[in-house]
Amino acid sequence: MKMLRRLKPIIKKEFRQVFRDLRTLVVLVFMPIFLLILFGYALNFDVRHIKMAAYDEDKSAASREFISSFFHSEYFDLKYYLTSKSQVNELLDEGKVSMVLLVPHDFSRKILRGEKASVQLLIDGSNANQAATVVGYATGMVQSYSLKVITEVLMRRGASNFALPVDFRPRIWYNPELQSARFLIPGLIAFILMLSCVISTSLSVVREKERGTMEQLIVSPVKPLELILGKTIPYMLISLVTAYLILLIGWLLFDISVKGSQLQLFIITILYLFVALGVGLFISAIANTQQLAFQLSLLLTMLPTMLLSGFVFPIKNMPAAIQIFTYIIPARYFLVALRSIILKGVGWSAFWPELLYLLIFGVLLVALSWSRMRKKRL
C-alpha cells in the first residue's frame, strides 16, 4: 500500500506531462499512425503490372497468341509492340519497360512441326529483386503456354485420354494472395512501438535531469525501483493503447486481422514494451541532455530494428557475422511471435523461446537502469 501511495503522484505527474507536452504526445500517438500509413503504402514488394514490350518477327497467329498470354495476366502490361529490333535498347536504356519479349521468325513453323521453338526475354536487371520476380513470372507463362501446345498436339494425334504424370497443385498457407502487406505490417508494429516507446521514455527521464528535478526524486523517500515503475507505467499503458490502435488501422486499411489468441498477443506485446521501456531507461541513465537521448534512441532502435530484425530482409540471407548481431535485437524475437500469432494463429509452442528471450532482455535492461539510479542515490 505504501508503494502504491508513493507511485500514484509520479504516475499522475507523467500522465500530465504527456498530455501537456505536444512533442511527447506526437511521438506516442500520432507518429506511430503516420509511420504505419506511410510505410504500409510506400513499402510494397508486390510486383504487378510490369511494363513490357514485344518484338514479333514471326507475325503469325501462334506468335500473337503466345504474346497475348503475357498481358492477359495481372503481372504484365504490353506497352509497346515493336516494329524494329533497334528499338529494344532504347526502351530498356530509358527505363520505359522492364522486359522485352523477342519471338523469332520461325516460331510458328517449329511449333507446328512439334520442334522446340526458342524465344528470348531481355530483362532489366538494375533492380535485382524485381528482375528475379519477373523471371519467375515469365517462366511460369512460358511453361503454361508450352503445356497448352503439348496438350493440343497430343489431342490431334488421338491421345484423348492424355494426362500429365504429375498433377502439381500448390497451396499457399497464411498468405494465399502473397500480399507483402501481410508480411510487413507485423514488422511495422515492432518497428513503430520500439521507436516511439524508447524515445518517449528516454526523453521523459532526461527532461527531469535538465530541469534539476531528478535529484529531488532520487533523494526523496521514493525507492529507485518505484521511480522506474512510476516513470514507465504511463508510457507502457499509452504504448499498449497505441499498439492496438495500429492493429485497428492495419485491419481497416490493409485487411490484416489477428488469427491467433488475443491473450497471446497481449502478453507478447506487454513483454516487448517492457524491453522497449528498458532500452529507454538505459539510454536515459547514460544521457544528460534530451538531444543526446534522442540521438541515441534513433541510433539504437531505428536502423537495427529495420535492418537486423527480419522486418524487411530475411535473417537467413545475411552474412554469418551479421547474423550474430541480430541475436541482441529484441525486435527479432517479437517479430517471430507476432507473425506466428497474427498470420498463423499458432500456440505457445511455436514461439515460447522468443518469450523467454524478451523477458531476459527486459529484466537485464531494467536491472541496469535500477542499479545506476541506486548508485546515484548512494
- pLDDT recorded at residue 158: 63
2 is written with which cell numbers? 505504501
Residue 182: exposure state from Cβ atoms within 10 A (0-12, 13-18, ≥19)? buried
In DSSP terms, which residues pair with 263 in a beta bridge? none
Instruction: Pick 323 or 285 by higher pLDDT.
Output: 323
pLDDT at 341: 92
192, 28 contact by CB (below 8 A): no
Same domain, 54 and 189: no
Q: Is the per-residue pLDDT at 377 higher than 60?
A: no
Residue 20 has pLDDT above 70, yes or no: yes
> Is the domain of 39 the same as that of 59?
no
- pLDDT value at 378 more than 60: no
Using the 3D structure, point to which of 156, 189, 205 is the last residue of a domain.
Answer: 156
Query: 78-92, 296-310, 317-331, 363-377: which has the minimum mean pLDDT?
Result: 363-377
Shared domain for 55 and 145, answered yes or no, is yes
* 295 and 221 within one domain: yes
Least confident window among 31-45, 46-60, 157-171 = 157-171
- What's the confidence (pLDDT) of residue 167? 64
251 vs 267: CA distance, rounded Å:
20
In a domain, 223, yes or no: yes
Residues 145, 208 within the same domain:
no
Handedness of CA 376, 200, 339, 184 (dihedral sign): negative
Residues 6+ positions from 115 with CB-CB distance below 8 Å: none
Backbone torsions φ then ψ of 100, nearest 5 degrees = -125, 130
The CATH code of the domain that includes 120 is 3.40.1710.10
Element (H, E) at 350: none
pLDDT at 173 over 90: no
Average pLDDT over residues 275-293: 87
Residue 34 or residue 25, greater confidence: 34
- The per-residue pLDDT for 182 is 82
Domain of residue 359 covers 17-44+179-377
Residue 309 burial class via C-beta count within 10 angstroms: exposed 0-12, middle 13-18, buried 19 and up:
buried
How many domains is the chain partitioned into structurally? 2
Nearest to 221 by CA among 373, 17, 34, 3: 3
Mean pLDDT value of segment 145-167: 70
My answer on whether 221 and 361 are in the same domain is yes
What average pLDDT does this structure show over 217-226? 66
